[in-house]
Chain A
Amino acid sequence: MDAGAQHIIEIISWFFLYYGIIICTGYLVSTFFSFQEIRDYKKRYNFQDETPLLKSTNLPSISILAPAFNEELNVIENVSSLLSLDYPSYEIIIINDGSHDGTLEKLITTFNLVLDETRYYSPLETQAIRGIYVSKKKSHKNLKVIDKANGGKSDALNAGINICANEIICCIDVDCILERDSLLKLVKPFLNNEKKVIASGGIIRVANSCVIDHGRITEVKLPNTFIARAQILEYFRAFLMGRMAWSRVDGLLLISGAFGMFDKATVIEAGGYNTKTVGEDMELLVRMRRMMRENKTKYAVGFVPDPLCWTEVPQKWKVLHRQRNRWTRGTIETLLAHRKMLFNPKYKVLGLLSTPFWFFFEWLAPIVEFLGILFFLYLAWHGNVDWTVFGLLLGLVYTFAVMFSVTALYFEEYSFQQYKKVKHVFTLLITVLLEPIIYHPFVMLSAIKGNIDFLRGKKSWGSMTRQGLKTQV
Chain B
Amino acid sequence: MTSHILKNFTPEYFVTLFGEDSQFIKIGLIICTLFIVISLFLMVILFYARYQKNKLNKRKDKLNNLCIDFITTYLFDDQINKKRFLKRFSRILKNDFYKQIATHQILEFSNNIKGESVEDIRDLFKELNLDKFNLRQLQSHRWEKKARALFVFSELSIPIDLDEIIGLINHKRIEVRQQCLLYILKDAKNNPLEFLDRIERPLTLWQRIYIEDSLKNDYQGQIPDFSIWLEHQFESVVVFAVRMIGEFNQFENIPKLEALLNTDNVVIKKEVIRCLNKLSNEAIIPGLIQNFKNETSGVQLEILNLIENNGNYEQFLTLLTPIIKAEDKVKVTYFNMNRMHFAKESALNGDIVKFALSEEPMQMSTV
Binding site for B on A (CB under 8 A): 43-44, 47-49, 52-53, 55-56, 58-60, 115, 117-123, 129-132, 162-163, 188, 190-194, 387-389, 391-393, 395-396, 399-400, 402-403, 406-407, 409-410, 413-414, 417, 422, 425, 429
Contact = CB atoms under 8 A, between A and B. Distances in A.
Given A392-B29, A410-B49, A422-B50, 15 more contacts: A44-B144, A53-B209, A56-B209, A119-B336, A119-B366, A120-B332, A120-B365, A121-B363, A121-B364, A129-B365, A132-B365, A387-B5, A387-B8, A392-B25, A396-B31
Given A117-B339, A410-B49, A403 B365 contact: no
Given A119-B335, A410-B49, A396 B28 contact: yes
Given A47-B151, A122-B364, A403 B42 contact: yes
A271 to B, nearest CB: 13
A188 B209 CA distance: 12
Contacts of A388: 17, 25
Contacts of B24: 389
Nearest to A412: B46
A129 B202 contact: no
25 contacts: A43-B143, A43-B144, A49-B111, A58-B208, A58-B212, A58-B243, A117-B339, A118-B336, A119-B364, A120-B332, A121-B333, A121-B362, A121-B364, A129-B366, A129-B367, A190-B205, A194-B201, A194-B204, A392-B25, A392-B29, A393-B28, A399-B35, A406-B42, A414-B49, A425-B46
Contacts of B147: 47
Nearest to A120: B365
A58 B209 contact: yes
B204 A191 contact: yes
A348 B150 CA distance: 37
User: What are the 6 closest A-B residue pairs judged by CB atoms, nearest first?
Assistant: A399-B35, A52-B213, A121-B329, A191-B206, A43-B144, A192-B206
A407 B41 CA distance: 10
B365 A162 contact: yes
B35 A402 contact: yes
A43 B146 CA distance: 11
Interface in B131-161: 143-144, 147-148, 151
B210 interface: yes
A425 B364 CA distance: 54
A164 B101 CA distance: 46
B328 interface: yes
B25 A59 contact: no
- Interface majority SS (helix, strand, loop, mixed), chain A: helix
B365 A119 contact: yes
A388 B21 CA distance: 13
A52 B362 CA distance: 41
B56 interface: no
Contacts of A163: 365
Interface string B110-147: 01000000000000000000000000000000011001
- Interface majority SS (helix, strand, loop, mixed), chain B: helix
A193 B25 contact: no
Nearest to B214: A52
A68 to B, nearest CB: 19
Contact of A425 (B47, B208, B209): B47
Interface string B35-79: 110110011011101100100000000000000000000000000
B9 interface: yes
B348 interface: no
Nearest to B40: A406
Given A191-B205, A422-B47, A425-B47, A399 B39 contact: yes
B174 interface: yes
A119 B210 CA distance: 37
Interface in B346-367: 362-367
B42 to A, nearest CB: 5
Contact of B9 (A60, A129, A193, A391): A391
A418 B358 CA distance: 57
A393 B144 CA distance: 44
Contact of B213 (A55, A115, A190, A387): A55
Nearest to A388: B25
A191 B35 CA distance: 42
Nearest to B202: A194
Contacts of A115: 367
Contact of A123 (B5, B214, B328, B335): B328
A392 B22 CA distance: 13
B340 interface: yes
A396 B202 contact: no
Contacts of B223: none
Contacts of B335: 119
Contacts of B333: 121
Given A409-B46, A429-B43, A396 B151 contact: no
Contacts of B329: 121, 123
B345 interface: no
B218 to A, nearest CB: 10
B32 interface: yes
A44 to B, nearest CB: 6
A39 B201 CA distance: 25
A58 B275 CA distance: 13
B206 A188 contact: yes
A119 B332 contact: yes
B205 A403 contact: no
B175 interface: yes
A392 B9 CA distance: 12
A210 B204 CA distance: 38
A407 B38 CA distance: 9
Contact of B43 (A60, A118, A406, A422): A406
Contacts of B336: 118-119
Contacts of A132: 365, 367
B42 A410 contact: yes
Contacts of A60: 205
A461 B47 CA distance: 41
B209 A413 contact: no
A44 B175 contact: yes
Contacts of A400: 35
A123 B363 contact: yes
